[in-house]
A and B are shown apart, each in its own frame.
Chain A
Amino acid sequence: EDQVTQSPEALRLQEGESSSLNCSYTVSGLRGLFWYRQDPGKGPEFLFTLYSAGEEKEKERLKATLTKKESFLHITAPKPEDSATYLCAVQAGTYKYIFGTGTRLKVLA
């Protein structure tokens, strides 16, 4: 069964304390992996697309990496404004997207 699991469910960091979020997946045919940021009460905001193992993408304090079984979202020196839920999704078919339940990140000043 195709599945996406994110860990941890919740993470509290001090401002400046770097960490990583994990997204592990099992799909029969990976077409792509996506990271989104979602603020409370809002829709997910697209961050990154990863397609092949070894690929990396960066945006400001965020860097996403991909292996054959999992993806990591590394957050370097986070700020309070990075607090949000981060969602991972995989495209397993033309119209088939499987979402994880997210990691709730809280960055304390």
Chain B
Amino acid sequence: DVKVTQSSRYLVKRTGEKVFLECVQDMDHENMFWYRQDPGLGLRLIYFSYDVKMKEKGDIPEGYSVSREKKERFSLILESASTNQTSMYLCASSSWAGTPYEQYFGPGTRLTVT
């Protein structure tokens, strides 16, 4: 069973704070993704990584950065949190094995920035 875990289910932060969201997968997947999900907008890709220390911008990278120092771990960093970053954050992973590449999601982190 694929397992993707996220460090927090709920977070409340203040405007301007630096926020770290962590994701860990246990299936030795090469690819990891960070999305945010907002009502009516669906899932939007923030960043993804296809290998350790490799990262690529997604559709909405502004205000975010990422880090992947180990294969199983992918961190999302909000350098200076703002209220428009209040959202549900979802981490996903996928493998190169087989086509197409199914994504498996973590439980999500509901972030509120006040």
Residues on A facing B (Cβ under 8 Å): 31-32, 34, 36, 41-46, 49, 51, 87, 89, 91, 94-95, 97, 99-102
Residues on B facing A (Cβ under 8 Å): 2, 4, 6, 31, 33, 40-43, 45, 48, 50, 56, 88, 90, 99-108, 110
Do the beta carbons of B103 and A46 come within 8 Å of each other?
Answer: yes
Given A95-B31, A95-B50, A97-B45, A44 and B102 touching (CB < 8 A)? Answer: no
Smallest CB-CB separation from A100: which chain B residue?
A: B42
Smallest CB-CB separation from A30: which chain B residue?
A: B100
Smallest CB-CB separation from B31: which chain A residue?
A: A95
Smallest CB-CB separation from B40: which chain A residue?
A: A101
Given A100-B42, A102-B42, A51 and B100 touching (CB < 8 A)? Answer: yes
Q: How far, in angstroms, from A100 to B31 measured CA to CA in the complex? A: 21
Question: How many Å from the CB of A28 to the closest CB on chain B?
Answer: 15
